[in-house]
Structure 1
Amino acid sequence: MSFARAVEKKLLRAQVASVEQLLALNERELRSLPDIGPATVSSIISALAEAGLSLAADPYEAYECARHSDVARDAELRAYFLCDSCRDAYAQLAFGDRSPEWVSRERVEGYCGHCNELRVVRLSQWFLCGTCDRVIRSIGRGLASAKFVESVWADTFRGTSELSLRETDPVELRPRGRRSDVDRSATADFVADYVSGEAVLGIELKSGRSALTGGGIGKPMSQFQLDTTDCDDITAAAVALNAPVFLVHAQVIGRAHAPTERYEGVGLWFARPWDMLQHLEMVRRRPRETRDAAYFKTTMFRPFAEFPSYVEDRFWADLESMRRGGFPILYQR
């Protein structure tokens, strides 16, 4: 086989004098040779392919992330305790029908990291980048948060209201980038309907490990951070619903059930959208990220146990106010 004369000269200057020597190199090693740039490497790879040949495999090449199907330098084996049905859901819905790289033969009784149910689980591993790993781990906590909200709503409103709660934007497993911004921004996580079927209010749920004042476990957080895009989503959902959307924070913590962990909701708070702007402290870029966040005083939140009395005494005036004057502004840059 032959290369362009200029390519041959570059290889000879790099002391690569035969095809055998060339085939012993991987792409990373080839790029490290003097005077061998990306264009030259591309030309060499194309010429080798035409001859049915290829460079050596790189034992240190980056792994491909199973969720977004592209190589990532921080992709590594990430392990999850999953029941059989959730393992299948991970493979089919989040990882494009990609089976685990490894599944333990040992079956243990513990809490599934996805459905949060006490079941027989096995340790399962996929290659994932750091971002996708954080997203996947947050989904199990998100599912637990949604169930917690439904449970607290049922207990809090029992016998005091004819409002019924339904989940309208459930947490789902999906490949990275599958969901559009339009779909994401126009729907509240929950909607409460009156007996007539009319949508009366929406709930945008945010969950985390930290408490707020007036309940929960541990020291309350000093500030509440909310991406400005999330604020915009709340406004868009309220406009689409023609009803106010309330920000709700759930404190969900992990409790060890060795070798697994169970998610448990221990605190719930709500914030009126009319209170948010007056509690805004600043809008700034999140550290080490490209997203802007609004930082609020946590005093805008009230324990969710007070929500029924708010609905009874003040909500209907707020609803009428919104329908006359529009949804309130949540933040200003």
Structure 2
Amino acid sequence: MQFRGSEVAIAPAVQNKLLRAQVISIEQLITLNERELRSLPNIGPAAVSSILAALAESGLSLAADPYEEYECARHSDLARDAELRSYFLCGSCRDAYVQLALGDRSPQWVSGERVEGYCGHCNELREVRLSQWFLCGTCDRVIRSVGRGLASAKFVTSLWADMFRGMPELSLREIDPVRLRPQVRRSDVNRVATADFVADDMSGSALLGIELKTGRSALPEGGIGKPMSKFQLDTTDCDDIRAAAATLNVPVFLLHAQVIGRAHAPTERYEGVGLWFARPWDMVEHLEAVRRRPRETRDAAYFKTAMFRPFAEFPAYVNDAFRADLESMRRDGFPILYRR
């Protein structure tokens, strides 16, 4: 049997492999997609590359695969778990998704129906429309976390204004706001660490920094639902806290905000229901272990949740005990938050 298709310069050895796989002509070959071609016996990656190159030279190609992976709109690569992800967004936030996070990619689909509900990004009650993009699971979680993070920052700012009303000389300033970003692979060399918030004194000098983490779970003494048993913090986040403290030359405190979703059908609004703080010195005392996160490539430090105290106690701490901690840091340095 001879392979029919001499007008396409497929190497004889590869032609023989196709014949053994019962593919006898170019016409038959181009009815296959790449996945089907790779599944044929004796057709390995080298043979597939040779076939694709020969077809391209003749202006031909394999068939499209109806089950091929979708391309994630955020990291611009094929992903097996990329699928249509749906978001209720107001018009301005939909534009922000396109311009700031998804590489100028318009949605795959936008509903013609306009409903009054909470925008999944700005968390404001507005006219919203359902919008869909192809996104992988990781990028979907990152995108959704931004709206929750924005709600968390507003929650912290509001509580600070309420609880520090008696200390107007201490003003809170957000210096690393949560924002939409495209996926950027940053090396540790290029990593710039800064606190999320800085509290300034009357002279405008930084007095303390705050690193804010947001989640759905509560901690002991407050919040909604069963408290988490352990608190996980990526070691890179621990490094960032220490680097920010060195840059500011003031202590940086860890805050955990519990932000939950409440239905406003068909949308959802985010609401802050709990806030806690941890002194860096207490973090050191309550460190349990450093290990790899499950199903991930990142290391995390695991802390006992007893290191946290309700944020309602923070003003009294700042007023009574903070100065001693500030002097301790400037004398002995900021504590090392974990050791491997």
TM-score by length of 1: 0.97
Quick one: which of 142, 153, 157 aligns to 1:146? 153
RMSD after superposition: 1.2
Aligned to 2:4: none
Aligned to 2:3: none
SS, match of residue 321 in structure 2: helix
The alpha carbon displacement at 1:183 in A equals 6.3
Aligned residues: 333
In 2, Cα distance between the equivalents of 1:173 and 1:324?
Answer: 39
In 2, Cα distance between the equivalents of 1:180 and 1:99?
Answer: 29
The amino acid across from 1:173 in the alignment is L
Quick one: which of 316, 322, 331 aligns to 1:324? 331
Aligned to 1:252: 259
SS, match of residue 201 in structure 1: strand
The amino acid across from 2:260 in the alignment is I
In 2, Cα distance between the equivalents of 1:232 and 1:247?
Answer: 13
In 2, Cα distance between the equivalents of 1:93 and 1:223?
Answer: 34
Q: How does 1:81-230 map to 2 (within 5 A)?
A: 81-177=88-184, 181=188, 185-230=192-237
The alpha carbon displacement at 1:181 in A equals 4.4
5+ residue gaps, structure 1, are none
Aligned to 2:316: 309
The amino acid across from 2:315 in the alignment is P
In 2, Cα distance between the equivalents of 1:199 and 1:263?
Answer: 30
State whether residues 116 and 262 of structure 1, in contact with CA within 8 Å, keep that contact through their aligned partners in structure 2: yes
Deviations 1:164-222 (A, max 9, x none): 11111111111112656466551011111111111111100001111112211122212
Deviations 1:13-46 (A, max 9, x none): 1121111101101101111111111111101111
In 2, Cα distance between the equivalents of 1:103 and 1:180?
Answer: 36
Aligned to 1:6: 13
In 1, Cα distance between the equivalents of 2:184 and 2:140?
Answer: 15
SS, match of residue 275 in structure 1: helix
The alpha carbon displacement at 1:159 in A equals 2.3
Aligned to 2:291: 284
TM-score by length of 2: 0.95
The amino acid across from 2:267 in the alignment is T
The alpha carbon displacement at 1:160 in A equals 2.2
The alpha carbon displacement at 1:161 in A equals 4.2
In 2, Cα distance between the equivalents of 1:206 and 1:52?
Answer: 54
The alpha carbon displacement at 1:223 in A equals 1.4
5+ residue gaps, structure 2, are 1-6
The alpha carbon displacement at 1:57 in A equals 0.3
The amino acid across from 1:186 in the alignment is A
State whether residues 204 and 248 of structure 1, in contact with CA within 8 Å, keep that contact through their aligned partners in structure 2: yes
In 1, Cα distance between the equivalents of 2:121 and 2:13?
Answer: 56
Aligned to 2:279: 272
The amino acid across from 1:285 in the alignment is R
Q: Which runs of 4+ in 1 moved over 2 A?
A: 178-185
Quick one: which of 7, 12, 15 aligns to 2:22? 15
SS, match of residue 224 in structure 1: strand
The amino acid across from 1:227 in the alignment is D
